[in-house]
Amino acid sequence: MAIDPKPPKPPRIQALARASAIIDVIAVGGDEGVGLSEISRTTALNKTTAFNLLASLVATRFIEQDQYSKRYRLGLRYLELGRIVQQRLHISHLARPILADLCKKTNETVNLGLPDLLDLLVVDSFRGSRLLHATAYGGWRSMYHCTALGKAFMAQWDAPMRRTIYRLCGLPRQTPRTITDIDALEAQLAQYRAQGYALDVGEDEVGVNGIARSIVNGLGEVAAAISVAGHSSRLTEEVMEQIAPDVMAAADSISAAIGCGERPDNQDSGRRQ
């Protein structure tokens, strides 16, 4: 019998390893920052290599450079990412029993998603016992305009935020049913904002439908969203309308758990356009 070889070690990308070493040096450098010479000496990188890597890290906001001293400090990008991780851990912990209950009620895949700049991140997922089911695992990303989760976010965002997504991401066609016209999507989002939940009818993946509702934190911000997704032969538009109260109740329970006393009403959402 042939013996399976050991799995290969993940490739080490030299530039990333060097950038990581630079970040480690800056992280312990204190409020005054760290100079190029010290970074070069500590990491054993020549100054040109260190400078070029630092320029890339500054451009991506992982590192910032003081305009007077020219020394380097950690950038605000870490604060943004740390907030996302903290939010993910906090919301996931509180949401899991509610998601599990919704999965048991619907016997379909239930997802928890967080907004992450230009796309969304699914951080938790429960799969029902159906033979044919929607994808169910945490850690995958998707676009806003063609998923129930994404449209649940967009329906509550103000117009400038939506315009930013349109400008930077466009409306790529995923399936024949994907909405690729901004005016048509805006009209649909207005409907979803009024009814309190969003739908995806085969727009992201052929044969898969979904229904989603956003989750609001204590500051009234849209912090996350949950969805129920399943094969279109079972999760028809009629069925999604029937389970909408369960989806809305689950989302609102999570909102309450993370500190939202009262969800903003639809009229308030409309005035933010």
Q: Residues 18-68: pLDDT tens digits? A: 888 999 899 888 778 999 999 999 999 999 999 999 999 998 888 999 888
* Domain region containing 84: 80-271
60, 75, 90 — which closes off a domain?
A: 75
List of residues 6+ apart from 107 with CB closer than 8 A: 128, 129, 130
Q: Looking at the predicted structure, is the pLDDT value of residue 84 above 80? A: no
pLDDT value at residue 132? 47
- Report the C-alpha gap between 163 and 160 in whole angstroms: 5
- Asked whether residue 1 is assigned to any structural domain, the reply reads no
Are both 51 and 150 inside the same structural domain? no
Q: Are residues 122 and 238 in the same domain?
A: yes
Q: How many domains does the chain have?
A: 2
In-domain check, residue 6: no
The pLDDT assigned to 260 comes to: 67
Q: What counts of helices (H) and strands (E) characterise the chain? A: 9, 8
C-alpha angle with apex 164: 188 to 147, nearest 5 degrees? 40
In a domain, 55, yes or no: yes
Q: Is residue 218 part of a domain?
A: yes
Q: Are residues 59 and 110 in the same domain?
A: no
Report how far residue 71's alpha carbon sits from residue 54's, in angstroms, rounded to the nearest whole number.
11
* Domain boundary residue, one of 56, 75, 94: 75
Query: Could you read off the pLDDT of 91-147 as tens digits, one per residue?
Result: 888 899 999 999 999 999 999 999 887 889 898 899 876 554 455 455 678 999 999
First to last CA, the chain: 66
Query: In this structure, is residue 3 part of a structural domain?
Result: no
Using DSSP's 3-state secondary structure scheme, residue 132 falls into: coil
**Residues 126 and 106 both lie in one domain:** yes
Residue 64 maps to which CATH number? Answer: 1.10.10.10
- Give CA separation, 248 vs 92, 117, 157, in Å: 17, 24, 18
E-assigned strand segments in 202-243: 208-216, 222-231
Asked if residue 190 is part of any domain, the answer here is yes
Same domain, yes or no, for 98 and 135?
Answer: yes
Are 227 and 114 members of one domain?
Answer: yes
Pair 167, 129 in one domain = yes
Region of 209 please: left (phi>0), alpha (psi -120 to 50) or beta.
Answer: beta
Write the CATH number for 84: 3.30.450.40
Specify the pLDDT at position 44. Answer: 93
Give the residue from 51, 75, 99 where a domain finishes.
Answer: 75
In a domain, 5, yes or no: no
Tokens of 67: 């305009």
| pLDDT reported for residue 80 | 63
Judge contact between 253 and 98, C-beta under 8 A. yes
Q: pLDDT band for 11, please (50, 70, 90 cuts).
A: very low
* Position 7 in a domain: no
Residue 89 parent element (H or E)? helix 77-106
pLDDT at position 191 over 80? yes
Is 166 found in the same domain as 118?
yes
On whether both 218 and 255 belong to a single domain, the answer is yes
129 plus 240 within the same structural domain: yes
Do 91 and 71 lie in one domain? The reply is no
Residues 132 and 68 in one domain: no
pTM for this one?
A: 0.66
* pLDDT top residue among 265 and 177: 177
